[in-house]
Amino acid sequence: MNHSKSENETKTNAYQFVFQKLNRDEPLPLQAFEGKVILIVNTASKCGFTPQYEGLEALYQRYKNKNFVVLGVPCNDFGNQEPGSGNEIGQFCAINYGV
């Protein structure tokens, strides 16, 4: 049994975490947002809370000039509520919520 920790599990500072960009095969390090207020939201397009995307976009628009960002992190770990590919998720968000 392998007990080694994943790369992100060994991080001790939030800015050391790295996400994957939705529609591209490239990293998105949180360090790129250093000095900003970051709201990280676990998302799933088939979740009952998906309509909150609209409110999250409004929140971002209201505070973006004050160094505020919202990062949606798709997750399919809870009841297969996000089975789409990065491109499919991106299209869904663009069509339905303008993000």
Q: 27 with 17: CB under 8 angstroms?
A: no
Q: How far apart are CA 92 and CA 1, in angstroms?
A: 39
- Read off the pLDDT of residues 47-59 as tens digits, 9 standing for 90 and up: 776 778 888 899 9
Name the residue among 32, 28, 38, 31 with its Cα closest to residue 15. Answer: 31
Catalytic residue from among 28, 38, 47, 99: 47
Q: How far apart are CA 4 and CA 10, in angstroms?
A: 10
Q: How far apart are CA 35 and CA 37, in angstroms?
A: 7
Confirm whether 47 is a catalytic residue: yes
> Collapsing DSSP states into helix, strand and coil, what is residue 91?
helix
pTM listed for this prediction: 0.72
pLDDT digit string (tens) for the chain, length 99 residues: 344 456 667 768 888 999 888 877 789 999 999 999 999 988 877 777 677 888 889 999 999 999 999 998 887 778 887 777 777 777 877 777 776
Q: 62 with 52: CB under 8 angstroms?
A: no
Domain 36-99 sits in CATH 3.90.550.10: no
